[in-house]
Amino acid sequence: MERSEILTKAQAENEDERELQVKDKSITFSYIVMVLMAAVFTWIRAKQGLPMMDLCATVCGSVCAAMTYRFIKTKGKSYLLIAVVTFIVMVIAIVRFAMGH
């Protein structure tokens, strides 16, 4: 393999890695916005006396799924902890929602 071919291949690999990093950051920002918006809507619904547990269950379910996937792929203990906590909160929210709270 010639030097130019090696350089071209290395640059392509770096672009792939950069694309993965950008995608990961975009998902992180998406979670932050989703949680903030759900918090605002939950607060508004609570002020109006409306049930709000559906929003909590939805957000927690989404975060739990993502963190479970990350844990499976990376074995990072922090991902497992977040997945377990959000799963517990999701189950509590579903039960409360089903009870009309």
For residue range 64-99, list pLDDT tens digits in order: 998 999 899 889 899 999 999 999 999 999 999 898
Report the Cα 81 to chain-centroid distance in Å: 13
Residues 6+ apart with CB under 8 A from 66: 27, 31
For residue range 8-39, list pLDDT tens digits in order: 666 666 667 777 777 778 888 888 888 899 88
For residue range 33-65, list pLDDT tens digits in order: 888 998 898 889 889 988 888 888 998 999 999
Query: Could you tell me the pTM of the whole model?
Result: 0.67
Euclidean distance between CA atoms 62 and 30, whole angstroms: 11
Query: Residue 76: CA atoms inside 13 Å, Cβ hemisphere, count?
Result: 12
Instruction: Name the token pair of 28.
Output: 């992180």
Compute the residue count for the chain.
101
Q: Residue 34: what pLDDT? A: 86
